[in-house]
Amino acid sequence: MFFRQKRSGDHVYLQIVENRWERGGSKQRVIATVGRLDQLQESGQLDGLLQSGAKFAESVMVLAAHRQGKTPAIRTRRIGPAMVFGRLWDELHIPQVIERLLAGRRFGLPLERILFLTVLHRLFDSGSDRSCVLVWNKDYAIPGIGAVDLHHVYRAMAWLGEPLPADQQKGATPFAPRCTKDAVEEALFDRRRDLFSHLDLVFFDTTSIYFEGEGGAELGQYGHSKDHRPDCRQMVVGAILDGEGRPLCCELWPGNVTDVKTLIPVVDRLQQRFRIRSICIVADRGMISQNTIAELQTEKRQVHSSWGLGCAT
């Protein structure tokens, strides 16, 4: 049943109408004409009628009370960012890659969900692991997370940094061993490549991240600080994008490694990790030196450089 307005002359009347199925078709029957709509509204009788009927529909009463501010908010949680990024996370097949790498390991915690949480945090807030747990567990509903504590996040980060077995260290740079993170990057690239996939062009750049307090016990070294904090240990992070702007991989080096020393290991590592025959690298001029050019111009490589553009095949 529903309300319907019926015009008659200069007035509009409010009717209660019923839908019925008769002889293979839908028929409408007027149950009652309540009265003139303008008079019902002015007198408040319409509001009284609706409230009287609403008490028999609990959901309607709750919604009406909420609109009037009469329902206390016990807890509210937002779902927007997790839903949007969660769909992208699934489309990239990241859960399947992580679960495959975890085969045979018994962590006893939802490691894939924790990694999802940390990446979501880097995208939207870019704070520490501690703030990640405080912000997202408190204010947002993220499927599969449950009660995640800070030490769970630390364990997940430690797993990503675990060195791979000795027989999987081919292609490691002189600065750091191959670790689980590298296996994740390579598996994701393999999932999206096909018979015709190739990397004609990649973009490479570095930045530095400094540690405060006792941080940086392994990769932390004193070096040229792009953050203007020469008093702190730091590490160098190299990000590599493909020609379509999609992240391909990232590299981590001790903080005393200069940019000019990173290009050769990156070229060799990309070719070995992703089975690339030819590659064109775009990097800034600070990564190109005469020694770098001479090293690239071997039987395996050729390079042309001018004002920060380096192409290696």
Contact indicator for 82, 111 with CB cutoff of 8 Å: no
For the segment 242-248, the average pLDDT, to the nearest whole number, is: 81
Which residue range forms the structural domain that includes residue 14?
2-67
Please tell me the distance from the alpha carbon of residue 267 to that of residue 280, in angstroms, as a whole number: 9
**Better-predicted residue by pLDDT, 49 or 58:** 49
Q: Is residue 241 domain-shared with residue 287, that is, in the same domain?
A: yes
pLDDT given at position 97: 93
State the pairing for strand pair 279-282/309-312.
Answer: antiparallel
More confident position, 304 or 12: 12
Domain membership of residue 174 (yes or no) is no
pLDDT at 246 over 70: yes
Choose one of 40, 67, 94: the last residue of a domain: 67
* pLDDT greater than 80 at residue 190: yes
Q: Which residue has the higher pLDDT, 297 or 265?
A: 265
Is 73 domain-assigned? no
pLDDT digits (tens, 9 = 90+) for 12-48: 998 888 888 888 888 888 888 888 988 888 888 888 8
Q: Side-chain half-sphere of 102: how many Cα atoms within 13 Å?
A: 18
C-alpha dihedral, 192 to 194 to 200 to 204, nearest 10°:
20
Among residues 46, 67, 88, the one where a domain terminates is: 67
Average pLDDT over residues 57-77: 66
Per cent of the chain over pLDDT 90 is 9
Same domain for 283 and 240, yes or no, is: yes
Residue 302 pLDDT > 50: no
Domain assignment present for residue 198? The answer is yes
Report the pLDDT value the prediction gives residue 67, as an integer from 0 to 100.
72
Give the model's pLDDT for residue 296: 65
Non-local (6+) Cβ contacts of 18 within 8 A are 1, 28, 29, 30, 31
| Domain-embedded: residue 223 | yes
Q: Do residues 93 and 54 both lie within one domain?
A: no
Residues 306 and 209 placed together within one structural domain of the fold: yes
Number of domains in the chain: 3
Q: What are phi and psi of 89, to 5 degrees?
A: -55, -45
pLDDT at 80 over 60: yes
Closest by alpha carbon to 293, among 281, 21, 227, 132? 281
Q: Are residues 217 and 308 in the same domain?
A: yes
Q: What is the mean pLDDT of residues 195-219?
A: 76
Choosing from 67, 89, 104, the residue where a domain stops is: 67
* Residue 173, in any domain of the structure: no
**For range 257-271, the mean pLDDT:** 74
Mean pLDDT of the chain: 79
- HEC readout, the chain: CEEEEEEECCEEEEEEEEEEEECCEEEEEEEEEEEEHHHHHHHCHHHHHHHHHHCCCHHHHHHHHHHCCCCCCCCCCECHHHHHHHHHHHHCCHHHHHHHHCCCCCCCCCHHHHHHHHHHHHHHCCCCHHHHHHHHHHHECCCCCCCCCHHHHHHHHHHHCCECCHHHCCCCCCCCCCEHHHHHHHHHHHHHCCCCCCCCCEEEEEEEEECCCCCCCCCCECCCCCCCCCCCCEEEEEEEEECCCCEEEEEEEECCCCHHHCHHHHHHHHHHHCCCCCEEEECCHHHCCHHHHHHHCCCCCCEEEECCEEEEC
Say if 175 falls within a structural domain: no
Based on the fold, state whether residues 93 and 56 are members of the same structural domain.
no
63 and 84 belong to one structural domain: no
**185 vs 170: CA distance, rounded Å:** 15
Residue 166 included in any domain = no
Same domain, 198 and 307: yes
Note whether 49 and 88 are same-domain residues.
no
208 plus 277 within the same structural domain: yes
For residue 182, is it within any domain? no
Q: Read off the pLDDT band of 264 (50, 70, 90).
A: confident
Do 242 and 307 have their domain in common? yes
Let me know whether 253 and 300 are in one domain.
yes
Give tens-digit pLDDT for 127-186: 788 888 877 766 777 777 777 788 888 999 999 989 999 998 887 877 778 899 999 998
pLDDT of residue 305: 38
Maximum C-alpha span of the chain: 95
pLDDT score for 310: 45
